[in-house]
Structure 1
Amino acid sequence: MSIQLSRAEFWLLNLVVEWRYPLARIDATNPDFFNHPCIGVPLDEIVETVWAMNERGWIRIYRLDDESEVALCGPADLIPLITLPSNAPGHPENEPFWRKQGLSGKPVVAYFGLTEIGGAIWEEFTQPNWEFRVVKELNFESYSHPGSSPDDHILLRGSDEARLRWASSLVRRSIDVEYQCELKREPLKRSIEPYHAVYWKQLPRGWEIRFNLKRRPQVDRGRKKLHTHGPAHEAMMHWNWFADLWRQWAN
């Protein structure tokens, strides 16, 4: 059975393929945001679309504090969740505040994500090749000095062992040049059964490779650094590294 999707429906499905997304960031008219995804349709159409997709079971809308489902009686209940000002105490942009203060009595912060049904509909349209998907996870105590903590490491995950080995060779080079570190020992590989390629998609088996890092001593003795690191820089490097794989996977 072929399912027809509107422009807004496909955009919303595609927005949450990899990660759940805050409803308060999908309003393109919100002046508090920049460089955020937008679709260029009126807010009322987005509200009606989100409501319909939730009613069909394609997406799930839940609270950020306890992950319970948000009780909705109609589309009007979505408007305060989508138009939540960024200076509101419970807004995701004010994470340090609401993590310290809690959400009791504060505006509800709502995220939405795909269900298995919504994921299956997205797959029908995109026909993704999950073997092309490789996830790189940085676990550094200090992003300005990776390898300084005994537990600093990089994780690679994927469902195809051969492609993961190829990605592993890229990480080996980045450890020396990009992070100015060296391996404590040979990378550790383990199988994962079952394997979650993304939060809503389960595959029979996947693999994980762990690279344990240590800081090169000469770097801390005054050697000129090749890069200045920080969370924004790491995010950009992660995206640059992942962009080619993503294009192959999505196409």
Structure 2
Amino acid sequence: MKNIMEVKNVRLNYGDYEALHGINLAFPEQKLTALIGPSGCGKSTLLRCLNRMNDDIDNIKITGDILLDGQDIYRPHLDLVELRKNVGMVFQQPTPFPFSVFDNVAYGLKVAGVKDKELIEQRVEESLKQAAIWEETKDSLNRNAQDFSGGQQQRICIARALAVRPAVVLLDEPTSALDPISSSEIEETLMGLKTKYTFIMVTHNLQQASRVSDQVAFLMNGDLIESGSTEEMFVAPKKEITSNYLNGRFG
């Protein structure tokens, strides 16, 4: 199984405070990895390292290596636009831009310099279908994306991330702001997409992690406690603290 991304001895400091303590973790291609752990354990901080979204934070220092297809994403002169094309992001709150569904999904393609209208139309339709939102939007592509429900907006955001054909999609608690029905629809969408894309998802919902992920990584207080296949982690974790967390004894 090919690992599309690897994190090697990654440490992150906010000034004198070390938030991540030497994380080592590999992300297999075309699988969904769930990052779990109590609030403040470093899940989202680690996720944001994977496409350099922490770069703009003052007084931050990141050491170690993060590799995408064997290339260090923190190397000098890296094109951040190209990186974020290859490593997309879907946030906790749905974040459609305040314009049409079509222009939302086409946005990344246009930023990347794609001018072929036929290709853009094809990608928009394909991506909306992949994100299971085509039937609800096909007759309303010119409608403002922010007019749709929260669950629909989140699937439009997933379509926007998929349109540029990323290698990896990062998901920061993508269903925590949604109702149970919308959450279930997002989960079904992700399950259907895993054969084509690699997903790395932060979630507080352990049942969700058990349902949709192939690999689970448990973090606590900035340390990676353990990781493994979802079945192994939920049925027979190696460490007692992992078992205690998964069984709701803390967190």
**Higher relative contact order at CA 8 Å, sep ≥6: structure 1 or structure 2?**
2
- In terms of fraction of residues, the more strand-rich structure is 2
The alignment's TM-score, normalised by the length of structure 2, stands at 0.27
Q: Which has the larger radius of gyration?
A: 1
Normalised to the residue count of structure 1, the TM-score between the two structures is: 0.27
